[in-house]
């Protein structure tokens, strides 16, 4: 029974990883035609790899299904939205950077853990090749998928418990600590339903992974997260 539970949990996490990787890439890079074709036109986002009762997830799924009817027009509008929201050199409307929404507290004369320190603890130095700040949401989501992959690969029960705690700590300190405020900005300033939905989807997925890895008070029925 324990083996079945672990296998099902790993399968659900893989599904969330797919969504987080997609959403993170939409935050880090201007959408290209291949992205629109693969994730919208081919129907991947219409049949999401996991399902959830989280109201935010349900809302995001509904928004995504009707957010990109015309491939060419959709790509153009997403690109314009990307520039307005994230890469405007003067005043991006919803910069996906933790430092824009939360001050790093100072306690006993020393700063709280920097997200870059978290990366370094796990030997993730290759993020420098992206030439994107460590506290960029896209980078944080990419790192979260790497942590999830490590957790999935573990077989030892004690090691899985420790990694589970680390993943939840990372989500709590470095994502959910500022994501709600960023999501508000996205809902207010994003023009395309696609980017509004992506922001909601990121919020929902991070909440769901956080709850999924909480063994003390299980909030998610693992079997309900699997798609047939």
- The dihedral formed by the CA atoms of 74, 76, 79 and 81, expressed in degrees to the nearest 10: -70
Write the CA distances from 116 to 40, 97, 143, 181, integer angstroms. 33, 13, 11, 21
| Confidence (pLDDT) at 168 | 97
Query: Rounded CA gap, 85 and 177, in Å?
Result: 20
State how beta strands 110-111 and 106-107 pair.
antiparallel
> Among 22, 49, 47, 20, which residue's Cα sits nearest to residue 34?
22
Q: How far apart are CA 8 and CA 131, in angstroms?
A: 36
Give the single-character DSSP code of 37: I
The structure's pTM equals 0.89
Contact present, 93 and 85 (Cβ < 8 Å): yes
Q: State which residues of the chain have pLDDT below 50.
A: 1, 105-110, 218, 221-224, 226, 228
Residue 107: phi and psi, rounded to 5, are: -130, 130
pLDDT of 23: 92
Could you list the beta-strand ranges (E) of the chain.
106-107, 110-111
For 23, 50, 133, 144, the CA distances from 209, given in Å and listed in that order, are: 15, 12, 24, 10
- Output the pLDDT for position 223: 45
Both tokens assigned to 218: 């299980």
Q: Which domains does the chain have, with CATH numbers?
A: 2-225 (1.10.3480.10)
């Amino acid at each position: 029974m324990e083996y079945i539970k672990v296998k099902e949990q790993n399968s659900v996490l893989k599904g969330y990883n797919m969504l987080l990787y997609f959403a993170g890439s939409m935050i880090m890079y201007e959408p290209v035609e291949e992205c629109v074709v693969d994730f919208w036109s081919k129907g991947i986002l219409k049949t999401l790899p996991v399902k959830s009762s989280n109201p935010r997830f349900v809302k995001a799924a509904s928004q995504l299904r009707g957010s990109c009817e015309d491939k060419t027009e959709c790509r153009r509008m997403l690109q314009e939205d990307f520039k307005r929201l994230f890469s405007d050199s003067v005043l991006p409307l919803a910069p996906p950077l933790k430092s824009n929404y939360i001050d790093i507290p100072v306690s006993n004369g020393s700063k709280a853990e920097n997200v870059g320190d978290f990366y370094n603890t796990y030997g993730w130095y290759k993020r420098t090749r992206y030439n994107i700040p460590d506290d960029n949401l896209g980078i944080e989501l990419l790192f979260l998928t790497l942590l999830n992959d490590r957790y999935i690969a573990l077989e030892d029960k004690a090691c899985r418990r420790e990694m589970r705690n680390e993943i939840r700590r990372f989500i709590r300190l470095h994502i959910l600590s500022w994501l709600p405020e960023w999501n508000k900005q996205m809902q207010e300033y994003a023009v395309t339903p696609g980017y509004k939905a992506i922001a909601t989807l990121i919020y929902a997925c991070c909440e769901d992974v956080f709850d999924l890895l909480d063994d003390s008070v299980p909030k998610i029925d693992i079997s309900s997260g699997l798609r047939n």
